[in-house]
Amino acid sequence: GAGVSQSPSNKVTEKGKDVELRCDPISGHTALYWYRQSLGQGLEFLIYFQGNSAPDKSGLPSDRFSAERTGGSVSTLTIQRTQQEDSAVYLCATKFRVDNEQFFGPGTRLTVL
């Protein structure tokens, strides 16, 4: 009966390094979203996965950002060559296909030094 889980909960990295953030969805939830929560910017949509369909990448801020969802379950958000402006909380949300409600994980707080 676990909710959406994300790991790590906190990540501190140096500018220029690559990072991977993980999201484990609620079992049976076919839709998965990544959002970014920055100070003063609120929550911004990044990318959306639904089943085997092509992902909606329209919110990714640059080509340094990418995401995968393997086997319709776990998702990984990768940020290459991190910059200080990438510092934020990265939130994952999932939902059942026919519902509207998105369930959010606790987020990963990324700090780029």
Partner 1 sequence: QQQVKQSPQSLIVQKGGISIINCAYENTAFDYFPWYQQFPGKGPALLIAIRPDVSEKKEGRFTISFNKSAKQFSLHIMDSQPGDSATYFCAASMGGSNYKLTFGKGTLLTVNP
Residues that bind partner 1 (CB under 8 A): 4, 31, 33, 35, 40-45, 48, 50, 56, 59, 91, 93, 95, 100-107
Which pair of tokens denotes residue 24?
A: 């484990």
- Please identify, using beta-carbon distances, which residue of 19 and 35 lies nearer to partner 1: 35
Kindly tell me which of 20 and 56 has the beta carbon lying closer to partner 1.
56
The one-letter code for the residue type at 9 is S
CB-based contact 67:78 (threshold 8 Å):
yes
| Stretch (H or E) spanning 89 | strand 88-95
Q: Which is nearer to partner 1, 88 or 91 (CB)?
A: 91
